[in-house]
């Protein structure tokens, strides 16, 4: 998928640590890892303004399960 390759290359060139296609069966998604939320929002804005993707989300990882003892 040339547009997916273009998107992945663009994300990396804009500062993503890495990016990859996930679940290509019905179109798939591209997941990118970036330094922080501000960087993610800036890169996503560029992606959308260039028409490289129809939409995108910025998500973060929470602290996960904690054991209190």
End-to-end CA separation in angstroms for the chain:
50
- Write down the pTM of the prediction: 0.81
At 68 the pLDDT is 83
At 1 the pLDDT is 66
Alpha-carbon distance of 28 to 56, in angstroms, equals: 12
Q: Contact 21/34 with Cβ under 8 angstroms?
A: no
Give me the tens of pLDDT residue by residue for the chain, a chain 69 residues long: 688 889 999 999 999 999 999 886 777 899 999 999 999 999 999 999 999 999 999 998 888 888 887
At 62 the pLDDT is 84
């Amino acid at each position: 998928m040339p547009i997916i390759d273009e998107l992945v290359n663009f994300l990396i060139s804009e500062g993503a640590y890495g990016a990859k296609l996930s679940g290509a069966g019905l179109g798939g998604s591209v997941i990118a890892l970036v330094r922080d939320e501000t960087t993610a929002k800036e890169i996503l804005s560029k992606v959308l303004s260039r028409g490289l993707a129809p939409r995108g989300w910025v998500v973060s990882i929470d602290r996960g399960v904690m054991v209190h003892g």
